[in-house]
Chain A
């Protein structure tokens, strides 16, 4: 592009130069013609001036001649004597144009006015005058002054006798004055010359180094170089022809012309001063030069402007170029190379290259380019594809219809034996007149990583698909198997039912069928449970419950279930229980039982008759505080499992493919469920088995230790708790649990309310209104979250009582932050009473706060509005009980015996009593009978009586009695005498909100 620009610029500059040259030439021509013109002009002027002068001088000379003649005549006429007195000469000269008169005596003596006499006998005027002629002649050296003078002579006659010659003289000075002329204010040089060139008189401005007597010499000399030859001079002068010539004057070219005086031999030579000419020429030239300069100057200015503009343009182009280069360079990070391919010219040019192409020149023929690249691409589909892609036809077609780019992916050898994926993009740069692409920009990007990721992704997807298909197939297989396994017992049940119906009057037969139905349905239930459990596990819904239970009880239950089967197969059972220090634990006894039954069941199943089954339970030292480590060992002398199966045993639906095994029924899910349960209990399960010899399962679980026997802690009685949860139901249920533990719970439904409540409670706390000692905050609450509330309580209220955060969500993430705020413990919903109690106890037991006195305990119950029926036959005891109960605010009604109690309840309005304290040993109708009667009433329509809490007051606490109370329909029992903490707890449990 710059070339074209340069061309234009050069053209313009050339043009300007040409114009300049032309102008200069014109100027030169102008100047020369100027000279010539001016010379010609001046020559004309000179000529006219000269001719005028000639006329004038002619006239003057004529006049002078006439004058001398007339004077001579007059004088002669005047003469009285032939002697001329010189005195007269002065007079005579007075009115004449002459400067002075001279008189030549006949002897040739020339007399001046002053009387001087000189010899002038050789003078022309003397000679001619004496001859009686008059005229004029020039005298080079006058007799008296040695001047060059003009003499006008005329003979003086005295009586017809020439007595002398009167001569009038024009001095040199006068002659000079006559000749002086000015041209344009400048004096010019005029010469009066004889026909031989002698200078008669002159008025010259021309200064010469030496004095010239002859004009010819003057002008032909080195100083003037007149452009006329001597012969021309001589001829002109002798013939009296007009002559004009130039000479080199001081200032320049001078013009001179010679004109003959009329009827004389003299020539008047006048010059046009060269300096005038020169000045004129100069002036004219100057004007021309100025004009030319102006023009040239503007041309130059034009050129300069053009140059500047071009420089600026070039700079801009350069910077644009640079910018473009920068952009390309920057893109080099993405694109290794840029090639511009001109399809029409069949050329390529690398606008940018990463220098990796040693063999390929940066520009050249497109065919070479294609050839080179074809060889770089390994043979195969890529090569064929790219071969085609690089052809002009393919490119044009590909980019037709305004498509903005083409892309191709292909592999290229990287020179080290590996392959890299390249992505080539083609972008159209220009189109021809028909709209087809004419040139394209190709760039290349290394997309190896992207491609590899793509491929990896695809592989992963394929794998996932395969796995999904596999799982799906496994499920279908399972369903197929299952349907058989489930239908079999179902069919049995149906069959047996039919049989029983057929033999409905044969009790034994029916009994037998029912027995079998029972077995089959249990079996079926087991299968269904397993399937459901597995489904739950798979969907993640499987959760363990948290309950207090006794390990020994659970184990006893297990043995209770298994003994029958073991006995049936004649197998031997060995149980070994190592010292279990902590018998009461917290966990999910049902699931634990399930694990045991599954494992032991398998042991029994796969052990032939007469084999032996072993169960071992041991408590190991536990490193987890608060948790016990229990190891259960199940061993059998059964058929064992192959190593390969041991690895698969816990996978769902896996069953050893073995003739011995397929005969045994099962869903194949049991072990899988077992493993899940064990894992949930933070446990491990190991299998050791030898084919043909037997198997040992070792289950190690961590179970949280239940503290003590009671989940009710004395130090929690009556402790005030504030529950904060925006969910009212959650609050109520939490408060219910807390009441069951024996605590005094209130709730508010927002963090803000909690802060206010705590503040106000703290302010008005005294013996009657103890402040809150624990706060339970729900985690997620609108407006003020649990954490914010905790922070507010800690910071604003400066309250240091323990704070528990309650959350249905995983709080491991917030634990850190919560602990920093000052939260002491976390409980997850749903809350279990034992958990809550334990947490409370843990939080509060270290406090060492004084326990509330029993009086406070009673008062803190605040059961105002509740009515209790006290059934006690002894008045004193009743009185005591009434008093004690009354301290809680309860209103107590006393019935003397069971009969009275039943009547009282029956006659009272439903729900008028909230609780019944029933002494057991009473006359007329004891506690058991009364309770039964009350519950009977409950069944007959008094629903309140079916549900009303009846608490037995027993003096004895034998377990039999406890059984009887339960059997009678009582809800709880309390030992006499009344212990206030127990009473309070009982009241709170059954009457608390």
Chain B
């Protein structure tokens, strides 16, 4: 129940997650664990530090997590961000500034997830 609400709130794909994690227990466990996940923090740090490579990696990881947990919006925005920051053929990473809009979106989606967390406790 709570999970449905949570996913409904964030616009995530619970069924997808369920199909992979199989039990709701696990889903909830991992969703909660997301709260402690350092990736987003790492992204913010990288951005602050101007480290495009780290930012890319973080965005990439975030995308993965988003996919794993069915956080559809977050996954999409993280993906776009990662794409924007990806290194080109010569190894130059994308411009953080240019990807700022995407960064914003990522942040928004991440926050949405975080704010929805208390639903699980109901």
Contact = CB atoms under 8 A, between A and B. Distances in A.
Given A874-B61, A879-B30, A880-B68, A978 B37 contact: no
A876 B34 CA distance: 7
Given A879-B30, A979-B20, 7 more contacts: A854-B19, A875-B38, A877-B61, A879-B33, A923-B57, A977-B67, A980-B20
Contact of A880 (B21, B38, B57, B60): B21
Contact of A921 (B33, B37, B38, B61): B61
A410 B73 CA distance: 108
A977 B22 contact: no
A876 B30 contact: yes
B26 interface: yes
B110 interface: no
Contact of B68 (A854, A873, A877, A923): A877
A980 B68 CA distance: 12
Contacts of A879: 30, 33
Contact of B65 (A855, A874, A978, A980): A874
A884 B37 CA distance: 19
A978 B20 CA distance: 7
Contact of B39 (A874, A922, A978, A979): A874
B67 to A, nearest CB: 4
Nearest to B89: A960
B64 interface: yes
A807 to B, nearest CB: 41
Contacts of A883: 21, 26, 30
B22 A854 contact: yes
Given A883-B21, A923-B57, A977-B20, A876 B33 contact: yes
Interface in A871-897: 873-877, 879-880, 883-884, 887
Interface of A: 854-855, 858, 873-877, 879-880, 883-884, 887, 921-923, 955, 976-980
Contacts of A855: 22
The listed residue with most B CB atoms (<10 A of its CB), out of A880, A887, A923, is: A880
B103 interface: no
Contact of B60 (A858, A875, A921, A980): A921
A977 B19 contact: no
Nearest to B70: A977
A922 B65 CA distance: 14
B22 A978 contact: no
Interface residues of B, number: 21
The listed residue with most A CB atoms (<10 A of its CB), out of B20, B30, B54, B63, is: B20
A884 B19 CA distance: 11
Contacts of A887: 22
A365 B53 CA distance: 131
Contacts of B33: 875-876, 879
A914 to B, nearest CB: 22
Contacts of A873: 61
Interface in B21-50: 21-22, 26, 30, 33-34, 37-39
B45 to A, nearest CB: 13
Contacts of A978: 20, 68
A980 B20 CA distance: 6
Nearest to B16: A977
Interface residue SS majority, chain B: helix
Contacts of A921: 57, 60-61
B80 to A, nearest CB: 13
Contacts of B67: 955, 976-977
A373 B30 CA distance: 117
B39 A980 contact: no
B120 to A, nearest CB: 16
Interface in B46-94: 54, 57, 60-61, 63-65, 67-69
Nearest to A883: B26
Contacts of B57: 921-923
B26 to A, nearest CB: 6
A662 to B, nearest CB: 56
B30 A980 contact: no
17 contacts: A854-B20, A858-B22, A874-B37, A875-B37, A876-B33, A876-B34, A879-B30, A883-B21, A883-B26, A884-B20, A884-B22, A921-B57, A976-B68, A978-B20, A978-B68, A980-B19, A980-B20
Contacts of B54: 923
Name the 8 nearest CB pairs between A and B, nearest first. A977-B67, A977-B68, A876-B37, A874-B61, A855-B22, A880-B68, A921-B60, A976-B64
A874 B78 CA distance: 15
A453 to B, nearest CB: 79
A894 to B, nearest CB: 14
A923 B68 CA distance: 20
A929 to B, nearest CB: 14
A926 to B, nearest CB: 9
A976 B21 CA distance: 14
A880 B30 contact: yes
A895 to B, nearest CB: 15
A739 to B, nearest CB: 22
A955 B21 contact: no
B62 to A, nearest CB: 9
Nearest to A921: B60
Nearest to A920: B60
Nearest to B34: A876
Given A876-B33, A876-B37, A955 B64 contact: yes
A921 B26 CA distance: 25
Contacts of B63: 955
A980 to B, nearest CB: 6
A191 B71 CA distance: 188
A884 B26 CA distance: 9
A980 B16 CA distance: 11
A874 B34 CA distance: 11
A877 B21 CA distance: 12
Nearest to A922: B57
Contacts of A877: 61, 64-65, 68
Contacts of A884: 20-22
A922 B26 CA distance: 25
A876 B38 CA distance: 9
Contacts of B37: 874-876
A299 B60 CA distance: 145
Contacts of B64: 874, 877, 955, 976-977
B27 to A, nearest CB: 10
A875 B37 CA distance: 7
Nearest to B83: A956
B6 to A, nearest CB: 16
A877 B30 CA distance: 9
